[in-house]
Structure 1
Amino acid sequence: MSVLATPSVENTRSRLVVDLDAITRNYKLLQKQTPSAETSAVVKANAYGLGADAVARRLAKEGARTFFVATVEEGASVREALGDPLPDIWVLNGYRAKDRPLYIKHRLGPVLNQPGETNQFRAAPTGPCAVHIDTGMARLGYGAGDISGLLNALQNLDVSLIMSHLACAEETASTQNVRQLERFTALTNALPETRLSLSNTGGVLLGERYHFDLTRPGIGLYGATADLNADNPFEPVVSLQAPIIQLREIDAGDTVGYGATYVAHSPRLVATVAAGYADGLPRALSGAGCARIAGLRAPVLGRISMDLTIIDVTGLEQEIAKGAVPEFFGPDLYQAAALDGTLPYEILTGLSVRAERIYKGAT
């Protein structure tokens, strides 16, 4: 086992490279799927971990006029990034009277989910509101039994949008989608005429019946769908890059990483890269995932540790000498999610703030 000369590294910090041009192309693809509906952008959870300010600015430049966030604090941040009073920013997690100053200052719209919120809002409205009705997810929203009370509560309020959320949109054959569509149609027929919204990314892909007046894609903007087994029409938008900080040759029989879980069966060239699970690499990729160097696979060897990951770079010496940097995720995002027993949502939102955000296509 011997340590080799390592390419000069000035910065050992991991970098999250976000391709805003690819996000734009995904947005336009979603628009093309729904020509009769407005395509909004869900930028909650810091745009699924990729940076809500940069993403919202780019999409607003491309014509997006409606954004959704989870909390009033997220809404305030997005409004400050956009500056322009024109885009609507809706807060999904409901209205609290204590947040009224933020709603007014940042021109945010609440999504009213239950009678208590609506009563607080009616006492001192801040402007237009949206209403969420539950059609089969039992998570947020007015239930079918609340509709008569909702009709009374909405009198004299400026209701701009009525929405619901699909529970099984990624399962195209699920009868739950049809049930929710039918319930949404029946319930909204009893409510004041206004714009309607039912579809997330999966709902967009279900077809025109689900599109109504406004769609709310999230994960599709960021390059994925919720179904790991379906064809993905969206472009990858993110890669986690980490510099090589040590190269070494190991011999047959040498072990790698915590627990000595990898044993070399032949001489290998291995690289230690400056990223681990503290940067957002799931430990489930240990001994199973890979990085890519100049597009070529470099398998992860042994266990991923907090700050470091060891990869097999045998045969990739020329690419490393030219300065190629290991990259994780990108086209391997689905594989990473499958190995981790999760979904792309969790991988993306779990990316660490330690990784420096770099934006391709930023203006």
Structure 2
Amino acid sequence: MRPARALIDLAALRHNYRLARTRHGASALAVVKANAYGHGAVRCARALAGEADGFAVAFLDEALELRAAGITAPILLLEGVFDALELADAVRHELWVVVHHEAQLRMIETTPLAMPLHIWLKVNSGMNRAGFVGADVAAAWQRLQASGKVREITLMTHFARADEPQVVSTAEQLECFEAATQGLAGTRSLANSAAILGWPRAHRDWARPGILLYGADPMPGEANGLQPVMTLESAVMAVREIEAGDALGYGGRFVAERRTRVGLVAMGYADGYPRSVPDGTPVAIDGQPGRLIGRASMDMLTVDLTDLPAAGIGSRVELWGRQVPVNRVATAAGTIAYELLCNVKRVRFSYQD
């Protein structure tokens, strides 16, 4: 069996959820959109079902998958619904629904509903991607109340730069949100992962932890005690030696400066490992620090075994996990941990609890 696998530590997932809830000090929706950031939405939701206050997904199909798997806790649709049929499904499955633009608001006003909804009314406080602005917030809140189809309203916003604690825009967004929602009844939800960890002023009634659940710390320094949930690993499948001056792999990017012992690893960009990482990107080989050499290809990549004489065929290679933080690989690839985790595919998934 090909040794490439993603090992998912569900105990670490629960640890991270508890940390988020403790730091925030109030209720928290576990964000499991995008197949739980590549970790498996159903398995992660089931692992959290005994303690999570609810879940958040991007859209209806993701919510229905959880309901079909027996998840009965509240589920929030972060994108809201796209038409009246989806709105009816949201009511049928007792989903909470974000409303962030005029067409969605009008849809609620004009569609007969079997029961009232819990609506999350989104405020555009400065990200300028989705949500109502300024006086439009109060007008939307009043229309929802007047519709007779809403049992509760939660007022929410989303931060653009909460992971940059030195930048003033998060404080400005907080002020904008407070001004737009002043005097409006309803619970509040502001804090994403970075705000949970770094912006106590943003802690309100509901938190929405996402990336932190999976152990990738969104804040500089990575000192918040999160535990990595996914370990992406494989094994050395062949070994060869190349001489000084020999080029290795596609494009000949790596040229050996000395006689080099090369380990061929069953992992590539078709599995989700980023092709863009440079020579020297960290790996762990049988628990020892190692480095990638040569360009990652579709199914294989190569590592330097020269200074690890005991390593050989069958040696375990961690691409990211407890020894190699996914953030370090993401930085080397010029991207973010979210993208790497969401892109993992084709490998076997193994769950431990």
Matched letter for residue 109 of structure 1 = W
Q: Indicate which of 132, 150, 155 corresponds to 2:122.
A: 132
Distance of 1:335 and 1:237 partners within structure 2: 15
Distance of 1:255 and 1:145 partners within structure 2: 63
1:111 and 2:103 are equivalent in the alignment: no
Match of 1:159 in 2: 152
Q: Indicate which of 199, 203, 212 corresponds to 1:211.
A: 203
Q: In 1, are the aligned partners of 2:138 and 2:180 still within 8 Å (CA)?
A: no
SS in 1 for 2:98: strand
CA apart distance, 1:232: 4.7
CA apart distance, 1:218: 0.5
Q: In 2, are the aligned partners of 1:12 and 1:245 still within 8 Å (CA)?
A: no
Q: Return 210-219 or 228-237, whichever deviates more.
A: 228-237
CA apart distance, 1:279: 1.0
Q: In 2, are the aligned partners of 1:44 and 1:74 still within 8 Å (CA)?
A: yes
Distance of 2:55 and 2:151 partners within structure 1: 18
CA apart distance, 1:159: 2.3
Q: In 1, are the aligned partners of 2:133 and 2:180 still within 8 Å (CA)?
A: no
Cα 1:310–1:265, aligned 2, differ >3 Å: closer, same or farther? same
Match of 1:309 in 2: 301
Match of 1:359 in 2: 351
Q: Which runs of 5 or more structure 2 residues have no equivalent in the other structure?
A: none
Matched letter for residue 328 of structure 2 = Q
Matched letter for residue 96 of structure 2 = G
1:257 and 2:249 are equivalent in the alignment: yes
Distance of 1:33 and 1:147 partners within structure 2: 29
Distance of 2:53 and 2:89 partners within structure 1: 20
1:34 and 2:40 are equivalent in the alignment: no
Distance of 2:243 and 2:71 partners within structure 1: 61
Select the structure with the greater relative contact order (CA < 8 A; seq sep ≥ 6).
1
Offset from partner CA, 1:26-85 (integer Å, 9 cap, x none): 1111122122x1122111111111111111111112x1021111111111112222x143
Cα 1:106–1:317, aligned 2, differ >3 Å: closer, same or farther? farther
SS in 1 for 2:310: helix
Cα 1:154–1:23, aligned 2, differ >3 Å: closer, same or farther? same
Q: In 2, are the aligned partners of 1:80 and 1:106 still within 8 Å (CA)?
A: no
1:16 and 2:13 are equivalent in the alignment: no
Match of 2:107 in 1: 120
Aligned Cα RMSD in Å? 1.9
1:80 and 2:68 are equivalent in the alignment: yes
SS in 1 for 2:154: strand
SS in 2 for 1:117: helix
CA apart distance, 1:101: 4.4
SS in 2 for 1:98: helix
Q: Return 196-205 or 152-161, whichever deviates more.
A: 152-161
Q: Indicate which of 254, 275, 299 corresponds to 2:291.
A: 299
Distance of 2:31 and 2:300 partners within structure 1: 33
Q: In 2, are the aligned partners of 1:228 and 1:338 still within 8 Å (CA)?
A: no
Distance of 1:225 and 1:144 partners within structure 2: 32
Distance of 2:138 and 2:219 partners within structure 1: 37
- Percent identity reads 34
1:92-111 equivalences under 5 Å are 92-95=78-81, 96-111=83-98
CA apart distance, 1:222: 0.9
Matched letter for residue 113 of structure 1 = H
Q: TM-score, normalised by structure 2?
A: 0.91
SS in 1 for 2:128: coil
Q: Which runs of 5 or more structure 1 residues have no equivalent in the other structure?
A: 1-10
SS in 2 for 1:281: coil
Match of 2:132 in 1: 142
CA apart distance, 1:105: 4.2
Q: In 2, are the aligned partners of 1:135 and 1:143 still within 8 Å (CA)?
A: yes
1:202 and 2:194 are equivalent in the alignment: yes
CA apart distance, 1:180: 1.4
CA apart distance, 1:298: 2.4
Q: In 1, are the aligned partners of 2:10 and 2:229 still within 8 Å (CA)?
A: yes
SS in 1 for 2:196: helix
Match of 1:43 in 2: 32
Distance of 1:228 and 1:247 partners within structure 2: 38
Aligned residues: 344
Distance of 1:143 and 1:130 partners within structure 2: 15
1:172 and 2:165 are equivalent in the alignment: yes
Offset from partner CA, 1:299-352 (integer Å, 9 cap, x none): 11111111110111234343547x54111012331221111111111111122x
Offset from partner CA, 1:282-312 (integer Å, 9 cap, x none): 1222413132122212211111111110111
1:328 and 2:319 are equivalent in the alignment: yes
